[in-house]
Structure 1
Amino acid sequence: MAKSWIFEIFSYPYDPDPEKFDPALCKELYDWKLESWIASEGYGFDGVLFSEHHFTPYSISPSPNLLVAALAQRTETLRVGVMANITAFHNPRRLAEEAAMLDYLTDGRLEWGLGRGVDEPEFMREGIPMEETRDRFEESVALMQNAWSNPVFTHKGTYYNYDNVSLWPRPMRPELPIWVTALSPNTVTWAARNNFKFTSVFAPTTEMSDIFKNYQAAAAESGRESTADDMGVCRNVFIADSEQEARDIAEPAFNALFAAFKEAAVFNDLDHVPTGYEHYQSFFRPFAGEGVTFDALVEMGIICVGTPESVRDQIVAQLEQIGCGNFLNWGSFGDLTREQTLRSYQLFGEYVAPAVRGLKL
């Protein structure tokens, strides 16, 4: 059985000029987005995962943990989480405390995602050298696990130091489910060795299959057998009543998202990326130019668009080829409206989620 999730970047789809930010439009956006997440529980989704980004209209979710708390109080069975908190932007002791609180506020439905981050403009504006992110990331995760597991903990690290301190509260569950966002081989291997789930976005299906095989091999080397539930794949999804309608709506919406993504995330100079991010030279290069078309992205499996039946078949085929047990539906993107988003989610719930749930992986 595989699970269906909503993944939410939460873009501001209006004028990107900060001087023209409109609080009324922003309030309307927060309201209908929350409505869509609440509705997803009745549509048959297993959970909702929020992202963290800063400084641009690409995302107005700088504090996704607030969204987790809000949605948890309005739902009963939906799992709620983050994909992912970027550890370099936080004190990990504070993150550990927030996760513990959210474990209670969600009644044990929390899914906790962590990432080292990859969006160069965010790190530049925050003043954090990207060469530090992996060390910060791994130290932060170790500190959080130590703090959750022990009544009194000590941590001596490069960036953080604590002597004989306690978290109040510690999580309701002895071990919180940790996800990491991963594409680089080093992060995938590290996640496998530490028994963390992982997910990726914007990679072709064939490449995702190879990534999961590498994860499985690293898990086996560390003495455990991985399962399909250890991995998730995230795709932009849009469903309508006809192929043409789906295409006519989804393509301009994705182009709007794509433009915001390029500004917010892609390295300024792909020939000279920070140490530790060499993998992303090849990953980001197609996105930096004009070489990737909407049709090519559909062909690679990065976008799933069409009728309920065709999208169902696309997603089932991907999950079977990759062997992963979590599908993240990035279904509200660009300038899609409330009505378009809710209709697409509803059709996914009726036609796709049951087929995903019925998979034997």
Structure 2
Amino acid sequence: MKFGVFDQNDSSGRSAALQYEERLKLAALYESLGFSHYQMSEHHGTPLSTTPSPSVFLAAMSQRTKTLRFGPLVYLLPVYNPMRLTEEICMLDNLSGGRFEFGVGRGASGFELGYLGVNPSEALERYQEAFEIIRQGLATGRLDYQGKHWSYADVNLSIRPVQSPPPIWYAAGGPDSAAWPARNFFNMVCAGPVERVREVVLRYRSEQASVLDGRASANLFGVNRYIVVAKTDALAREIADRAWQVHHKSFWTLWHRYDSEPRGWKLPPTLDPLIESGFVVIGSPTTVRAEIERQVEISGVNYLSGNFAFGDLSFDEVVDSVSLFAEAVIPALSKR
């Protein structure tokens, strides 16, 4: 069982410079406490992200850490030139000494794609095309591809990754979407109610078993949760309720601006339904450990990704929360 961090880097109300410095200090803390991965989202034109360029932020992180593995979850492939992104991936893997891992996706917001000049109706085919080009470049060091959106004729890349190639992650929305990452041996993470997570994990393991022929899998298949730990249940709830209001507003900013709503997950204004579903876990160390143990037992995941910093949580509040989590939960579950 491994533990990681997922960060939207949503607006906290503090200056961007201060927030970046705090996040980089937190990355070093995550590493020291035994977390294996740091992963971040990519968003544009919304307070849901103050770090619209994952590569730039992660380049800085590569110099503040030594063992922490990190990457975007996900790169919005439709908005990138695939050759340029392949080169960035190679640079990040070299800057970190082979610690870079990246997720791929087409983006959940058509508004954001439109801001960057991409027609949302073309997002899927651009995503598929870009992904094939990037995989080719990382595997062979050259690009030779003729597509609808991008074409390359015998281009030799000037840099190769340390890893051959860096591991890939995929965010699965449901059981059916788990088949592709399983059969391609990508790591996977999902969210939602714990019972649904179990369905996704079972499908992932079943699909991978069909091609492994009895061999053991080295992949991570995990669940994402918002987590706040404090000395008491009451204090944790007070802190989480306050921060959630800020995070919720950022999440809905673009959807409200365009009088629309997301097709998939819709964050509610209060925490109660999310706590009931298991998507949010808050409380004292004892409470949080018991709930995480319950969810791991039900779902069968071998990786837990925690949103520890969101909304207007202060640096000190996150430090306390993460430290209590590492002390109470990681030792109890890391050897499962």
Q: Identify whether the pair has TM-score above 0.5, normalized to the shorter chain.
A: yes
- The one-letter amino acid paired with 1:353 is I
Is 2:87 aligned against 1:88? Answer: no
| Aligned counterpart in structure 1 of residue 199 of structure 2, from 203, 210, 224 | 210
Is 1:345 aligned with 2:322? yes
8 Å Cα contact 2:175/2:199 also seen in 1: no
**Structure-1 residue corresponding to 2:293:** 316
Q: How far is the alpha carbon of 1:324 from its aligned partner?
A: 1.4
Residue 137 of structure 2 corresponds to residue 153 of structure 1: no
Residue in structure 2 matched with residue 325 of structure 1 by the alignment: 302
Tell me whether 341-350 or 177-186 shows the greater mean CA deviation: 177-186
Residues 191 and 258 of structure 1: CA distance in aligned 2, closer, same or farther (over 3 Å): same
Deviation at 1:186, TM superposition (A): 5.5
Matched, 1:139 2:116: no
Query: How far apart in 2 are the matches of 1:170 and 1:296?
Result: 46
What is aligned with 2:274? 297
Partner of 2:165: 175
- Give the deviation of 1:327 after TM superposition: 0.8
**Residue number in structure 1 paired with 2:283:** 306
Question: CA offset at residue 356 of structure 1?
Answer: 2.8
Residue of 174, 177, 187 corresponding to 1:197: 187
Larger mean CA deviation between 5-14 and 182-191 belongs to 182-191
Q: Following the alignment from structure 1 to structure 2, what is the Cα–Cα distance between the partners of residues 328 and 157? A: 36
> How far apart, in 2, do the equivalents of 1:218 and 1:130 lie?
30
Q: Which secondary structure does the structure 1 equivalent of 2:243 belong to? A: helix
1: distance between equivalents of 2:182 and 2:284?
36
SS at match of 1:110: coil
Letter in 1 for 2:200: I
Q: Which letter does structure 1 place at the counterpart of 2:59?
A: A
Partner amino acid, structure 2, of 1:65:
S
Q: Is the contact between residue 136 and residue 142 of structure 2 (CA under 8 Å) also seen in structure 1?
A: no
C-alpha separation between the residues in 2 aligned to 1:226 and 1:119? 37
Name the counterpart of 2:156.
166
CA deviation after TM superposition for structure 1 residue 111, in Å: 1.3
Q: Which runs of 5+ in 1 are unaligned?
A: 15-23, 271-279
Higher RCO structure (Cα 8 Å, ≥6 apart): 1
Partners of 1:216 and 1:226 within 8 A in 2: no
The equivalent of 1:77 in structure 2 is 67
Aligned length: 334
- Measured in 2, the distance between the counterparts of 1:354 and 1:138 equals 40
Is the 1:79–1:110 contact (alpha carbons within 8 Å) kept by the matching residues of 2? Answer: yes
Change (3 A) 1:151 1:83: closer
Distance change (3 Å), C-alpha of 1:10 and 1:168: same
Q: Does 1:188 align with 2:178?
A: yes
Confirm or deny: 8 A CA contact 1:143 1:155 kept in the other structure: yes
Match of 2:253 among 259, 263, 278: 263
SS of match in other structure, 2:227: strand
Shift of 1:226: 7.5
Q: CA deviation at 1:184?
A: 5.0
d(CA) in 2 for partners of 1:47 and 1:210?
Answer: 24
> Deviation per CA, 1:96-139, whole angstroms, max 9, x where unpaired?
11111111111111111111111232123234222322222222
SS in 1 for 2:15: helix
Corresponding residue to 1:34 among 17, 24, 30: 24
Name the CA distance, whole Å, in 1 between partners of 2:221 and 2:120.
26
**Matches of 2:305 and 2:142 in 1, distance apart?**
37
Q: Distance in 1 between matches of 2:62 and 2:207?
A: 34
CA drift at 1:66: 1.8
Distance 1:264 1:228, change over 3 A: farther
Percent identical:
31
Q: How far off is 1:220 after superposition?
A: 4.1
What is aligned with 2:39? 49
Q: How far apart in 2 are the matches of 1:320 and 1:139?
A: 38
Range that drifts further, 98-107 or 228-237: 228-237
Partner of 2:101: helix, strand, or coil? strand
Distance 1:229 1:32, change over 3 A: same
SS of equivalent residue, structure 2 residue 170: strand
CA displacement 1:62-119 (0-9 Å, x = unmatched): 1111222211212221112221111011111111111111111111111111111112
Equivalent residue letter for 2:317: Q
Any unmatched runs of 5+ in structure 2?
A: none
Partner Cα distance (2:150, 2:10) in 1: 33
For 1:331, the aligned partner's letter is: F
